[in-house]
Amino acid sequence: MPALLNTADPDFKAGFAAMLAAKREDADDVGAAVADIIDEVRARGDAALVALTARFDRTDLTAETLRFSETEIDAACARVDPAERAALELAAGRIRAYHARQMPEDALWTDASGAQLGWRWTPVTAAGLYVPGGQASYPSSVLMNAIPARVAGVERLVVCVPTPGGAVNPLVLLACRLAGVDEVWRIGGAQAIAAMAHGTQTMRPVDKITGPGNAYVAAAKRQVFGRVGIDSIAGPSEVLVIAEGAQNPEWLALDLLAQAEHDADAQAILMTPDQGLARAVAAEVERILPQLPRAAIAGASWQAHGTIIITRDLAEAAALSNRIAPEHLELCVDDAEGLAAQIRHAGAIFLGAWTPEATGDYVSGPNHVLPTARSARFSSGLSVLDFLKRSTLSRLTPAALAAIGPAAVTLAMSEGLPAHARSVQARLDDLPPLPRP
């Protein structure tokens, strides 16, 4: 049975706080092992990658075969079923169109003092994308990471994907092709992160690394952060479905189970003022669960983390949602836009019951890399901005310096930085004759 909370109960506050505070993931401390792997890759380069790949992925490579050849990628792409190719192409096109709208604009203006001010966006030169191997090797994640980088104008886009036991997912390679990835390497784990951050004899380093991974990959990303940029470290996934009225309980149950089937740490929450709907959805979950191929995983998630919360009304549901700050938020209510206006913290909002969360995982267009574990309070999903950075611009004229320079001199002196003050004062002392304002 999932947890059942009712905001009318006297112990609701404690139960809700316990749910918020619950850790759904055991953090393995693999920091020392990862530091050793990074040192080994820095010291020995390709030779370390070959040795570590033989050890961890049971795959024998050479410095020459660490990277997929174009011929190998072509051959894998040719093996993809036409319906799957068409679906991936539809997804790629829609993700590209959505992210193209995110491109920010440069700015330059002249203010009242005569100072020219502004900023300019430029792309990261080289980005690396980690793609897990095995069961969690998702072509959709390749699209969601690589396409924003390409839209941003990243020049060189590298993918690392392990091939444990030699297993290659042709859809992943096709997704790389469709997204315009330049290099695909068959390496994984902390060694792949180390190679992308530091480079080897055959791989040039990148400037930013994104993409999901296991505890070793996450620890490696933390350790190379600073030398390169990284995206956020993803935790277990979660969905909150807020529902009322004449909803189809089967649809809502499937949305909860779609989240639960990700892994046993995933969390699915239903919030509704309608006790009858809550009972109906819970019954549908129990009915459908045994039919699912991933019933064991989905069942474990639903038992351990599944939660149904009865609220007084939708306004209360919105307020509780803002405390959860869910990664995915489905609003299956009559006035979804009205309810959305009360939402302050959520990674992705799905409006209305015709917008199941799974469409956002694949084809709607917005990114599916989203803030987990309440981090939507302070962070956003992946976007083109993750592959861009901004240089601020300023140009003072002599008149502008005359207007604002003396304040800089005053502040520099008050902060005990006299050379700062002198660098401005020397110019003020040499001002050309200025037109009277």
- Under rule CB under 8 A, residue 202 binds a second copy: no
**Nearest CB to a second copy, comparing residues 61 and 333:** 333
- Under rule CB under 8 A, residue 361 binds a second copy: yes
- Under rule CB under 8 A, residue 303 binds a second copy: no
Of the candidate spans 35-43, 71-79, 193-201, 347-355, the one that interacts with a second copy by CB under 8 A turns out to be 347-355
Q: List helix spans (H) across 200-350.
A: 215-224, 249-260, 275-288, 295-305, 314-324, 336-340
**Nearest CB to a second copy, comparing residues 307 and 367:** 367
420 is in an annotated binding site: yes
Q: What is the per-residue binding string for a second copy in 99-138, x denoting contact by CB under 8 A?
A: --xx-x--x-x-x---xxx-xx-x-xx---------x--x
* Smallest distance, a second copy to C-beta of residue 96, A: 12
* Smallest distance, a second copy to C-beta of residue 279, A: 19
* Smallest distance, a second copy to C-beta of residue 381, A: 6
- Under rule CB under 8 A, residue 293 binds a second copy: yes
Which 311-340 positions form the footprint of a second copy (CB under 8 A)? 329, 336, 340
Active site residue 328: yes
98 is in an annotated binding site: no
Which 409-428 positions form the footprint of a second copy (CB under 8 A)? 410-412, 414-424, 426-427
- Under rule CB under 8 A, residue 269 binds a second copy: no
237 is in an annotated binding site: yes
- Under rule CB under 8 A, residue 201 binds a second copy: no
**Nearest CB to a second copy, comparing residues 10 and 432:** 432
* Smallest distance, a second copy to C-beta of residue 339, A: 12
Can you tell me which of 260, 269, 278, 314 binds a second copy, judged by CB under 8 A?
260
Can you tell me which of 179, 298, 308, 320 binds a second copy, judged by CB under 8 A?
298
Which 23-82 positions form the footprint of a second copy (CB under 8 A)? none
**Quick one: three-class SS letters along the chain?**
CCEEEECCCCCHHHHHHHHHHCCCCCCCCCHHHHHHHHHHHHHHCHHHHHHHHHHHHCCCCCCCCCECCHHHHHHHHHCCCHHHHHHHHHHHHHHHHHHHCCCCCCEEEECCCCCEEEEEEEECCEEEEECCCHHHCCHHHHHHHHHHHHHHCCCEEEEECCCHHHCCCHHHHHHHHHHCCCEEECCCHHHHHHHHHHCCCCCCCCCEEECCCCHHHHHHHHHHECCEEECCCCCCCEEEEEECCCCCHHHHHHHHHHHHCCCCCCEEEEEECCHHHHHHHHHHHHHHHHHCCCHHHHHHHHHHHCEEEECCCHHHHHHHHHHHCCCEEEEECCCHHHHHCCCCCCCEEEECCCCCHHHHHHCCCCCCCCCCCCHHHCCCCCCHHHHEEEEEEEECCHHHHHHHHHHHHHHHHHCCCHHHHHHHHHHHHCCCCCCCC
**Nearest CB to a second copy, comparing residues 230 and 309:** 230
- Under rule CB under 8 A, residue 139 binds a second copy: yes
- Under rule CB under 8 A, residue 250 binds a second copy: yes
Count, residues near a second copy per rule CB under 8 A: 123
Active site residue 357: no
Report the distance separating Cα 207 and Cα 123, nearest Å.
Answer: 10
**Nearest CB to a second copy, comparing residues 52 and 124:** 124
Binding site, annotated residues for substrate: 237, 259, 262, 328, 361, 415, 420
Just list the catalytic residues: 327-328
